[in-house]
Structure 1
Amino acid sequence: MKTKIVINAKYQHLKEFIGKLPVNFHTQGEVLFGGRNIIRDIPVGDLRLNVKAFKVPNIINQFVYDNFRISKARRSFEYANLLLEKGINTPDPVAFLECKQGFLFKQSYYISIQENFDGLMREFNTGELAGREDLLSQFAKFTADMHQKEVLHLDYSPGNILYKKEGQSFHFYLVDLNRMYFGNISMDLGCRSFRRLWGNEEMIRFIASEYAKARNFDQDKCIELTLLYHRKFWEYFTKKHPDKKAYT
């Protein structure tokens, strides 16, 4: 098994730990997520590391990732560094690791600093706007700023947007970074990016209005587009998952 490791210069002292991940991953720390990909919170010295093990691709993609496509772990690491360079928050990237066997790509890992957050956008499944205006206004402005910096998170879903609160200010962080777009973001593309958010129509309308103001877009058109994409997404999603809704 051939292993490639790239480590952030600040965390070179973790080289030994990172090199042993393929052997030790399943016996260390606490499982935070146990789906297709597995995420663990692992303490190492005075640090807590968030280690994401990506599912081994199918046999065709094992060849593709080895020869033609950049791995999800590498993209996560490189995109995290790009976001930080642009002044967009994400947990500090530590390293990525890729395991290959012959001409086939096997396991890969992305390691970042495990942060403590005050909340995440997944909390808004009740869909109510009242009392949340300040947070949601700042979230819309954060999104507008990100889009003006030509960054689009392609999985802008409630579980991938977290925040910390300092006084009256909210600081938003992005996670799950392996799918990003960098380039000009039109009003249509920007409004479409809100489609996965949880919340009722009043909440989505408020976010769209604040986003439009921050980007000097036509508010009525922006609201119309955002609601359209939001409805279409959730109509399709709930047909496939009848037990899940955009809000409760």
Structure 2
Amino acid sequence: MHVVINGDYKRHRRRLVEMITDFDRSGEMLVKGKRNTIKIFPLDGKTVNIKAFQIPNAVNKLAYRYLRKSKARRSFEYAKKLLALGINTPEPMAYGEERNFWGLNKSYYLSEHLTGQFSIRQPLEQKNFTNREEILRQFTRFTFHLHEKRVWFLDHSPGNTLVREDSNGQYQFFLVDINRMQFKKLSRKVRLNNFARLSADKKALSIIGEEYAKLTGWPKKATTRAILEADQKFRAGRKKKQRMKRLLGRK
């Protein structure tokens, strides 16, 4: 087992390694998905969130071992980079990789488990969500901040931004599931297409478009229209993929 631990957490190395090696037999289950599993473990007054990525196929086993960084390693390194840029994400603690000559098997990403938050999915989908418009406007400012820092979050979908209200009534946003991102200057098209995966209603996307136009100085109508068009294109592509899966007998 190859394990890399972040800063102060090195004093907990033995316990963190135990969490990884005993992952299948211990811990509190949070998510049991087809691809990935998430459990939480106590650690010295904190809670550790461990995401276990599925075992890659034969080709990717070799690729992740010799050519590309594992999803766990990318999550760990991207989290440190985001925090250095002033962008919130749960504190990275460690990552672990089960690997051998033939490639990568499982990999694990360990981070601080957040509490007292909700996902941006709720105000995006619930039209009567308390303070919905203000949350969406602040979320848009957060996304603008990402773009200005040259962060392209490829999985900018409703479940991957957590929201927490602070004592001043402001909202803090935390990125999760961060193994797919790029760091480069973003074009206008890439920026506006980055809202497509939100799959929100027209009202929510119009609020986002109006706020983003205000922040960038771009024309409001054209900005909103581009976001709505990107949303429709993404929905159409997703429906096409779902039809293909049904034709192939896959769920």
2:232 alignment partner in structure 1: 231
TM-score by length of 1: 0.91
Cα drift, residue 102 of structure 1: 2.1
Q: Is the 8 A contact 1:117 1:162 kept in 2?
A: no
2:248 alignment partner in structure 1: none
Q: How does 1:95-244 map to 2 (within 5 A)?
A: 95-123=94-122, 124-127=124-127, 131-166=131-166, 167-241=168-242
Cα drift, residue 129 of structure 1: 8.0
Q: Is the 8 A contact 2:19 2:41 kept in 1?
A: no
Q: Is the 8 A contact 2:53 2:108 kept in 1?
A: yes
- CA distance in structure 2 between the aligned counterparts of 1:201 and 1:19, rounded to whole angstroms: 47
Gaps of 5+ in 1: 243-248
Relative to structure 1, is the Cα distance of residues 150 and 206 closer, same or farther in structure 2, using a 3 angstrom cutoff? same
Letter in 1 for 2:4: V
- CA distance in structure 2 between the aligned counterparts of 1:195 and 1:31, rounded to whole angstroms: 31
Q: Is the 8 A contact 2:199 2:235 kept in 1?
A: no
Q: Is the 8 A contact 1:127 1:199 kept in 2?
A: no
Gaps of 5+ in 2: 244-251
Letter in 2 for 1:7: I
Describe the SS at the equivalent of 1:50: strand
Cα drift, residue 138 of structure 1: 0.6
Q: Deviations over 1:197-237 (max 9, x none)?
A: 14210110110110121122222221111000101112332
- CA distance in structure 1 between the aligned counterparts of 2:170 and 2:84, rounded to whole angstroms: 21
Relative to structure 1, is the Cα distance of residues 130 and 95 closer, same or farther in structure 2, using a 3 angstrom cutoff? closer
- 22-31 or 38-47, which deviates more: 22-31
- CA distance in structure 2 between the aligned counterparts of 1:148 and 1:97, rounded to whole angstroms: 32
- CA distance in structure 2 between the aligned counterparts of 1:119 and 1:241, rounded to whole angstroms: 28
Aligned pairs, how many?
240
Describe the SS at the equivalent of 2:205: helix
Describe the SS at the equivalent of 1:88: coil
TM-score by length of 2: 0.90
- CA distance in structure 2 between the aligned counterparts of 1:31 and 1:175, rounded to whole angstroms: 18
Q: Is the 8 A contact 1:135 1:170 kept in 2?
A: yes
Q: Is the 8 A contact 1:209 1:223 kept in 2?
A: yes
Cα drift, residue 28 of structure 1: 2.1
Q: Is the 8 A contact 1:128 1:203 kept in 2?
A: no
Q: Deviations over 1:49-97 (max 9, x none)?
A: 0000010101111111111111111000000000000000000000011
Relative to structure 1, is the Cα distance of residues 241 and 128 closer, same or farther in structure 2, using a 3 angstrom cutoff? farther
Describe the SS at the equivalent of 1:25: coil
- 20-29 or 101-110, which deviates more: 20-29
